[in-house]
Amino acid sequence: MLTRRALLQTVGAIAAAAPLSARSDATTRRGAAFPHPVSGPIGLQLYSLRHLFKKGDLAGTLSLIRDWGFSVVEGGPLDGMSAADSAALLKKYGLRAAGTGADYGKLRDGGADTAIADAKALGAETVMVAWIPHENRFTIENARRAAEDFNGWGKRFRDAGLRFAYHIHGYEFLESPDGTLFDTIARHTDPTAVDFEMDVFWVARRGGDPVELLDRYAGRFLLTHLKDIKKGTKLCDPTGGAPDETSVPLGDGMIDWPGVLRAAEKQGTKYHFIEDEHPEAEKQIPLTLEYLSSLSL
């Protein structure tokens, strides 16, 4: 007999082989929502399906996301579309962009007004920066400059009715006088203006403890990226990079997900976004949803 996981893997393979526009049958449809153990919504980071969007079947990809049971996503304007048109198309498929992103360099060069306008047109509540430009190793100077920039941008976004967040990428856990360079950023940013998004994969990749970090900075992690790291992957890597294939379904990797989700609930995370960077993420996301539905906290 097939195990439950083997069956799901077979279903995922069938779905991947079919045209996207045809993937709204019983093999992928999960109804209006999928069960999960946290109090707030769990959404999908659209980057997970970047390879499908590039194939041009926008309608089929959005249908797939809807049929998995998602109602919120994180991502910017869809390729070649304005933020307003993207919001309208997402709404057509029962989706809403609760969060979006902004480029550090563009914000630094005066792009905050554009980022605010796009976020509002999308209907987003949060805007996150996912990378701090730096050469080779991240330094104390990079961290201090970023903290200053984040404070300024965060206040502008707050005044516009939005929340600004920095997405951890792992390279921030080098030593600093404050403990780590992430500690420098956290301790020198205004909690009323600057939140954080914990990408659990990148914390683990650097050898950190996501649960301890959530507990230590309670109230600061408004957002998470739920992403598991393949067993046997080298840890304590300071680069902020990893092969895409090291992204595995939740529950198949090294992360203590019940512990992470309990700590996130306790400290007040509002949105969790599943992010799967594997080249065939559409086969893995159903397994992640099945795992989440099996948990109780």
Q: Got the DSSP string for 3-54? A: -HHHHHHHHHHHHHHS-GGG--STTT---S----SSSS-EEEEGGGGHHHHH
| Mean pLDDT on 17-31 | 34
Domain total in the chain? 1
pLDDT of residue 261: 98
Q: Across the chain, what does the average pLDDT equal?
A: 90
Q: What does each C-alpha distance from 275 to 22, 47, 81, 216, 228 come to in angstroms?
A: 24, 7, 22, 24, 9
pLDDT of residue 33: 73
* φ and ψ of 233, to 5 deg: -65, 135
Closest CA to 121 of 145, 87, 165, 164: 87
pLDDT of residue 7: 33
CATH number assigned to the domain comprising residue 232: 3.20.20.150
Any idea which residue has 């301790």 for tokens?
A: 187
CA angle 204, 210, 215 (to 5 degrees): 165
Structural tokens at position 214 = 């959530």
Closest CA to 140 of 185, 98, 191: 185
Task: Read off the pTM.
Answer: 0.89
pLDDT in tens, 165-196: 999 999 999 999 999 999 999 999 999 999 99
Range of the domain at 28: 4-294
pLDDT of residue 191: 98
| Mean pLDDT on 230-256 | 95
- With a cut of 60, say whether residue 97 has pLDDT above it: yes
Inter-residue contact 206 to 169 (CB < 8 Å): no
Any idea which residue has 């399906």 for tokens?
A: 49
* φ and ψ of 252, to 5 deg: -95, -10
pLDDT of residue 281: 98
Confidence of residue 34 (pLDDT cuts 50, 70, 90): confident
Residues contacting 218, CB < 8 A, separation 6+:
266, 267, 268
Percent of the chain with pLDDT over 90: 84
